[in-house]
Amino acid sequence: MAAAAPVVEATGITKRFGSTVALHEAGITIEPGQTHALVGRNGAGKSTLVSILTGLQAADEGAVTFAGEPAPRLADRDAWRQRVACVYQKSTIIPELTVAENLFLNRHDHGRTGLIRWKTVRAKARDLLDTWSVDVDVRTPAKELDVEQRQFVEIARALSFGARFIILDEPTAQLDASAINRLFNRIRDLQRQGVTFLFISHHLQEVYEICDTVTVFRDARHVLTAPVDDLPRADLVAAMTGEAASETAGERHGPSADAPDVLTVDSASLPGAYDDVSFRIRAGEIVGLAGAASSGRIEIAETVVGLRAAFGGVVEIAGHRPRPGSVPAALAAGVGFVPQDRHHQGFVPEMSIADNGTLTIPDRLGPAGFIDGRRRDRFARTMIGKLAIKTPGPELPVSGLSGGNQQKVVMARALANDPRLLVLINPTAGVDVRSKEFLLGKVEEVAESGTGVLIASDELDDLRMCDRVLVVFQGRVVAEIPRGWHDHQLVAAMEGVDLDG
């Protein structure tokens, strides 16, 4: 019996954006039933390949086939939808519409009167979600879905078009541990039903957990494809970075004994989010705020930076009490921060990297209110170099950067204004392994120079360097864990399990 043709095969793909070569004679072959990982550093060309495999962009050179047949014309959207679907990090769902409307957008049943039959649409949507065991009310407006529900709805939508090949571009970046588990169970289920996956992630342990085969891209090129079991992690990282794995930085000193407080939170409460939270951070101290996505850790951090106002209680930053709920007041008191959602709170996509990177420091770049373009560009160039931001130059709009590189711009900006207190929410989401090490090293450096740091994250790698980690569970700080914990200890605490009890 002849082997089945690959579900998809891309060969000799080259794609340029102006002077940037995003893909250079790259390719991938995905066999039926596989869960195939695509990994590489930020800007390696992964999302560009996805846009070509889904027919959103044409390659400059190269060919794509599905099951041995040439890919459809770009204009033939229906033909593409029957072959492949992608669940993007950024939603393609329309927030104002209900789940049912999103599922059957543009293919409503029109009755003889020409009117849409909403009852039929809802019933069909319900059937569809039942078929794939997605437990969501079809009348819910899509904007009320959380990331996990949204992804499941998008997967069901893809399957309903007949596609049996699904691309997941960083699906886990915004999910907490239990949601990731549910997603993986869903993937395994669908795999058994014959669905093939291309899975993109910067969390290499996920590649080992869920994928059979891994392809590595580096600097726009295909570097290797191998069975996951044959490739030790160190070799995988070496393939991604083109260099042997590095040892991580040395010992931290931590805050000195007489370091003053740079943050005091006293008896703060926010109904529905957290309750009676108190803690301090000293100059030079790094404190983690760990917990599941819904634990309240994000809301606590957002309160400190003025994105939310607590009901009662006190937030004091470096001796000031900024007006609650005011970001400008928090910034003026000495806060630098990286918000959770870089698309909505992080930067201005239409503005250049240079302008975005220096948004918070106009007064350091020239006389009040006047920004010296040359000094600004020099500062931006230093950050681009130090953070390995992959771009042709600082004048590029941030929207032209790859996902992880956008995150680095937001980090650069937070580090730029010499804050007294640095507040980071999921700071390394979407950032590749090597850049992650570098950014966290930078945070340690900033702390050594006397800045206090608050890191709200559920990524163990982000929390490892913290002097102590406060664990938030259901809105309350339930544990304080000093440096040197074991992974299972912290994970158990985050899930509300008391190992000592």
Ligand X SMILES: Nc1ncnc2c1ncn2[C@@H]1O[C@H](COP(=O)(O)OP(=O)(O)OP(=O)(O)O)[C@@H](O)[C@H]1O
- Alpha-carbon separation of residue 335 from 296, 301, 304, 345, 453 (angstroms): 20, 11, 9, 15, 10
Q: Does 45 interact with ligand X (rule: CB under 6 A)?
A: yes
Binding mask 382-411 for Mg ion (x = CB under 5 A): --------------------xx--------
Q: How far is the CB of 430 from ligand X (least distance, A)?
A: 6
Q: Under 8 Å CB-to-CB from 26, ≥6 apart: which residues?
A: 10, 13, 14, 45, 49, 62, 217, 220, 221, 222
| Alpha helix positions (H), 38-166 | 46-53, 77-83, 99-103, 118-131, 147-160
Of 15-23, 159-167, 301-309, 474-482, which segment contacts ligand X by CB under 6 A?
A: 15-23
Q: What share of the chain is helix, strand, coil (3-state, %, to 5)?
A: 35, 25, 40
- Single residue of 46, 150, 164, 376 touching ligand X by CB under 6 A: 46
Q: How far is the CB of 172 from Mg ion (least distance, A)?
A: 13
Binding mask 346-385 for Mg ion (x = CB under 5 A): ----------------------------------------
Q: Are the beta carbons of 376 and 351 closer than 8 angstroms?
A: no
Q: Are the beta carbons of 432 and 41 closer than 8 angstroms?
A: yes
Which H or E run contains 97? none
Contacting ligand X within 401-430 (CB under 6 A):
401-405
Q: Are the beta carbons of 108 and 124 closer than 8 angstroms?
A: no
How far is Cα 355 from Cα 69, in angstroms, rounded to an integer?
Answer: 46
Contacting ligand X within 361-400 (CB under 6 A):
390-391, 400
Q: Does 48 interact with ligand X (rule: CB under 6 A)?
A: yes
Q: Are the beta carbons of 165 and 29 closer than 8 angstroms?
A: no
How far is Cα 180 from Cα 78, in angstroms, rounded to an integer?
Answer: 30
> Considering beta carbons, is residue 17 or 311 the nearer one to ligand X?
17
With CA atoms as reference, report the closest residue to 310 among 295, 298, 297, 325: 325
Q: Does 47 interact with Mg ion (rule: CB under 5 A)?
A: yes
> Considering beta carbons, is residue 57 or 65 the nearer one to Mg ion?
57
Of 38-46, 281-289, 461-469, 471-479, which segment contacts ligand X by CB under 6 A?
A: 38-46
> Considering beta carbons, is residue 240 or 287 the nearer one to ligand X?
240
> Considering beta carbons, is residue 136 or 396 the nearer one to ligand X?
396
- Single residue of 6, 27, 40, 346 touching ligand X by CB under 6 A: 40
How many Cα atoms occupy the beta-carbon half-sphere of 496 within 13 Å?
8
> Considering beta carbons, is residue 15 or 164 the nearer one to ligand X?
15
Helix (H, G, I), strand (E, B) or coil at 138: coil
Residue least distant from Mg ion (Cβ): 47
Q: Does 201 interact with Mg ion (rule: CB under 5 A)?
A: no
Q: How far is the CB of 403 from Mg ion (least distance, A)?
A: 4
Q: Are the beta carbons of 173 and 430 closer than 8 angstroms?
A: yes
Q: How far is the CB of 298 from ligand X (least distance, A)?
A: 22
Q: Does 44 interact with ligand X (rule: CB under 6 A)?
A: yes
Q: Does 43 interact with ligand X (rule: CB under 6 A)?
A: yes
Helix (H, G, I), strand (E, B) or coil at 356: helix
Residue 81, binding choice from Mg ion, ligand X, none, Cβ under 5 to 8 Å by partner class: none
Look-up of token digits 């949204």: 150
Look-up of token digits 């937030």: 315
Number of residues in contact with ligand X, rule: CB under 6 A? 20
> Considering beta carbons, is residue 13 or 290 the nearer one to Mg ion?
13
- Single residue of 5, 11, 14, 20 touching ligand X by CB under 6 A: 20
Q: Are the beta carbons of 216 and 40 closer than 8 angstroms?
A: yes
Residue 151, binding choice from ligand X, Mg ion, none, Cβ under 5 to 8 Å by partner class: none
Of 39-47, 232-240, 314-322, 416-424, which segment contacts ligand X by CB under 6 A?
A: 39-47
The radius of gyration of the chain from alpha carbons, rounded to an integer in Å, stands at 24
Q: How far is the CB of 42 from ligand X (least distance, A)?
A: 3
Binding site for ligand X (CB under 6 A): 17, 20, 22, 40, 42-48, 390-391, 400-405, 432
Which residues contribute to the site for Mg ion (CB under 5 A)? 47, 402-403
